[in-house]
Structure 1
C-alpha cells in the first residue's frame, strides 16, 4: 500500500514538474517574441521618426536644439528628467511663447534626437553642456525656463555663468530641499529594452487624439520614447540624481535674479508649496503661482503660464 502511494506521489511530482517546465518554456517563448517584435519595430520606426531642430557638436557628441519664433527676447527651455522628446513635449508651451519670444529648446544628451555621451551626468557637466549650446548659438542674454529636475541644473547654471540668464522661470521645478527617496531606473530600463513596456502600452491602448496634428505628434513621441527609454546616458543621469540634490543644497539663486515659479497646487510631494515659496522669497523679485494640473503643467496650463510670465517679466524690467 505504501509502495503504491509512493509511486502515485512520484507521478504527481513528475506531472507537476512538467507543468512548471512547460509554463517556463511558454513564458520564455513569449518574452523572446516580445523582444524580437520590439527590435523589429525599432528598426522600422527609425525610418519614420521625423527630423527636427539642428545638431550641434558638443564635447563628445551632438545635441539637438530646436528654435521657434522670432521675438526680441529669447527663452531657453530645459526639460525634466526622462522626457523622451523635449521639443515635442513642450509644444503647447512653445505655441504660446512664440507670440512674444524666440524659444530655444535644448535636448540634452540621451534625449530626443541628441546622441549619448560618456560624460558624467553631474550638475557641473549638465550646466557646462547647456552653456556650450548657448555659446554656439551666440546667445548673450536669455530667460532660463526649466521643468522639474532642470530647476537644479538651472541653479548650477546661474551660479557657474552669472549674468547670462536675465530671469528664471520654473515649471514645477525641483528644489534642493525637497524629499528625495532616490530613483532606481533599472526596472524601467529592463522593461523598455525587453519590449515589455511597448507590449504593455499597446495592450492598454488609450484614446487617440482626434486632432490630426496632435495625433501625429503623439505618434512621433511614442516612437522616440521607445528609442531613447533605457539608454545608458539616461541611466547614468538617474544614478547621479541623489548626488545632484545634495550638491544643489549649497546653491541659491542670485538675489537680483527675477524668479517666477509655477507649481502644482495638488502635488503629493511634502511641503511642495512651502519649499517653492521659500525659493521665491529668497530673491528680491520672486513670485510663486500655484496652478491646478499635474507635474507637467505645460500640458494644460501653457496659456496661463505665458500670460503670467509676460506680466511678471514686464514688471521686473
Structure 2
C-alpha cells in the first residue's frame, strides 16, 4: 500500500501573497552557536533540547546535544525558517490525491495551536477518502518522544484497521 504519513506537517496559509524572506548577514542564533554559548547552555541545562522519557541512551542524548549545538542557526536552518511563510503560501490550493490514504500526527494535543492545525488539516483532507489525524500530547519533535505510539498507529493505519476520523 502507498500512503502519506506526516509528522506535524506544514499546512496551506490562510493569507494570500508572498511573505518577505528574512535573510542575509550573520544571525544572533549562529553567533551563539559558533562562540560556544549554545554548547555551554546545553551542557548546564540539557533538558532544554533533550527529549523526555527513557527512549535514548546517554550517548544518544549527548549526540543530540552536539548536533543541536552544531546546527543551531546554521545557514540551512535559518533559510528553512525564513521560508516557512512562503512554503505555506505556496501550498494554497494543493490537495492530496483522493485515493491516497493520509495519516497525520500533530503535536500539542489539547492546545490552541493543535486545534488550529487540526482544523486546517481537516479542511486540507476533505477530498481524501481515507485519512486520520492523531493529536499527541508532546512537543514538536514527536519522533523523539512518541516513536512507539506512532509506530503502533502507523501499523494499524497501513493494515487498514482504521477509518477516517
* Structure label with greater radius of gyration: 1
Quote the residue 1:281 is aligned against: 126
Asked whether 1:308 is paired with 2:144, we answer: no
Change (3 A) 1:225 1:293: closer
Distance 1:205 1:224 in 2: 13
Structure 1's unaligned 5+ residue stretches are 1-142, 144-165
- State the structure with bigger RCO (CA 8 A, min sep 6), 1 or 2: 2
Indicate which of 2, 18, 28 corresponds to 1:187.
Answer: 28
Quote the residue 1:168 is aligned against: 4
Distance 2:29 2:20 in 1: 14
Change (3 A) 1:289 1:204: closer
* Greater percentage in strand: 1
Quote the residue 2:86 is aligned against: 243
Indicate which of 214, 218, 236 corresponds to 2:57.
Answer: 214
Quote the residue 1:146 is aligned against: none
Change (3 A) 1:182 1:271: farther
Quote the residue 2:117 is aligned against: 272
SS at match of 1:315: coil
Quote the residue 1:295 is aligned against: 140
| Range with greater deviation from structure 2 (254-263 or 267-276) | 267-276
| Offset, 1:247 | 0.7
TM-score of the aligned structures, taking structure 2 as reference length:
0.72
| Offset, 1:183 | 8.7
Structure 2's unaligned 5+ residue stretches are none
| Offset, 1:210 | 10
TM-score of the aligned structures, taking structure 1 as reference length:
0.41
Change (3 A) 1:293 1:178: farther
Number of equivalences: 150
| Offset, 1:222 | 1.7
Q: In angstroms, what is the RMSD of aligned CA positions?
A: 3.2
